[in-house]
Amino acid sequence: MRVVVVGAGIAGVACARVLVDAGAEVSVVERAHVVGGRMATKRYDGRRSDIGAGYFTVSDPRFAAVAERWRRAGLAREWTDTFAVHSADGSSWTTGPVRWAAEGGLRSLVEDLASDLAVTTSSPVEWVEPGPRVDGSAVDAVVLAMPGPQALRLLDPNLREARSAAGRQAWLPSLTATLVYEERTWPDFRGAFVNDHPVLTTLFDDGSRRGDNAPVLVAHTGDAFAEQYVADALAAGDEIESAVRNLLELPGAAVRVHVRRWTFARPSEAGDAPFHLGDEMVGIAGDAWGSPRVQTAWLSGTALGDAIVARLS
């Protein structure tokens, strides 16, 4: 069986992994120049910062086995179970599941999963039509590992099942700002949830997260704030920097601010199924098919891969 997986985030790579292990001929195509999707790691001034997903958690035993393999290989580590909480009523602490981080950035984990797959980057797919066919080439199945609005741009109008599934998803934008300082002057914390703030939603000590104690913070904004900067994300840098400085009562400003816009940062609500696969043999997977987490995306891609194998065997 021949399958094309469009999207090399963790959902697409997990799906491809299942299919290859079952003996399928699989091509993974990614429009970006690297794999990873929203498990994104960007190099600034020679140092990597995580600018997409902030961490991952583990509760499913199948994903736990993957995380343990990453841990044994030195790729990932248990980071913290305690975050600060900032709100209008003051600051507090919350304890929850253990958050995992990666010294080489979260993208390195997707790279590990994709290491022996046939992945072509910088290769945008233009059209998926009945057959199924991808840009005119016939295949046995197509996987769209991406947010629904992106999938809709590729789907022929006659692929009604897939278009209906993709169209039910609604996504919210966000901005991620990487703030580089001369030195570490903030109170000790790993990460923080910021509630009811006009700019910020979460804030991470990236030096703690990466384990190198670099004076770098990474801030994520809310969707309403991000909507103000559709045309020019960099224009939001000063306002984000000021919000972080005021929140943590920092004595000085960041020396460099890098901003990345995510048009499809997170789904507005959790999906009611682990993936979509209709009679058209066009599947859709990702973290919109459940609560928006790294583990959800991996489980979605894995389950879709299993379903395709069962359908085509």
- How large is the average pLDDT for residues 202-230? 97
- How large is the average pLDDT for residues 29-38? 97
Residue in this structure with the two tokens 């460099």, named with its chain if needed: 256
- How large is the average pLDDT for residues 275-298? 96
Query: What is the spatial distance between Cα 166 and Cα 128, in angstroms, rounded to a whole number?
Result: 13
- How large is the average pLDDT for residues 36-54? 96
Query: What is the spatial distance between Cα 265 and Cα 263, in angstroms, rounded to a whole number?
Result: 6
240-283 per-position pLDDT tens digit? 999 999 999 999 999 999 999 999 999 998 888 899 999 999 99
Query: What is the spatial distance between Cα 306 and Cα 301, in angstroms, rounded to a whole number?
Result: 9
Which pLDDT does position 271 carry in this prediction?
81
Contact 240, 219 (CB under 8 A): yes
Domains and CATH numbers, the chain: 2-41+106-169+270-312 (3.50.50.60), 55-64+79-104+171-268 (3.90.660.10)
- How large is the average pLDDT for residues 182-192? 96
Would you put residue 122 in left (φ > 0), alpha (ψ -120 to 50) or beta?
Answer: left
Contact 97, 83 (CB under 8 A): no
Query: What is the spatial distance between Cα 151 and Cα 284, in angstroms, rounded to a whole number?
Result: 8
Predicted confidence (pLDDT) at residue 79 exceeds the cutoff of 90: yes
Which pLDDT does position 198 carry in this prediction?
98
% residues pLDDT > 90 (the chain):
96
Confidence grade of residue 99 (pLDDT, cut at 50, 70, 90):
very high
- Which has the minimum average pLDDT: 97-101, 268-272, 296-300? 268-272
What DSSP element (H or E) covers 112?
helix 107-113
Tell me, what DSSP letter sits at residue 232?
Answer: -
Query: What is the spatial distance between Cα 13 and Cα 117, in angstroms, rounded to a whole number?
Result: 8
Predicted confidence (pLDDT) at residue 85 exceeds the cutoff of 90: yes
Query: What is the spatial distance between Cα 92 and Cα 253, in angstroms, rounded to a whole number?
Result: 24
DSSP string, 158-180: T-HHHHHHHHT--EEEEEEEEEE
Which pLDDT does position 155 carry in this prediction?
98
pLDDT mean across residues, the chain: 97
Which pLDDT does position 269 carry in this prediction?
86
110-165 per-position pLDDT tens digit? 999 999 999 999 999 999 999 999 999 999 999 999 999 999 999 999 999 999 99
Q: Tell me the one-letter amino acid at 251.
A: P
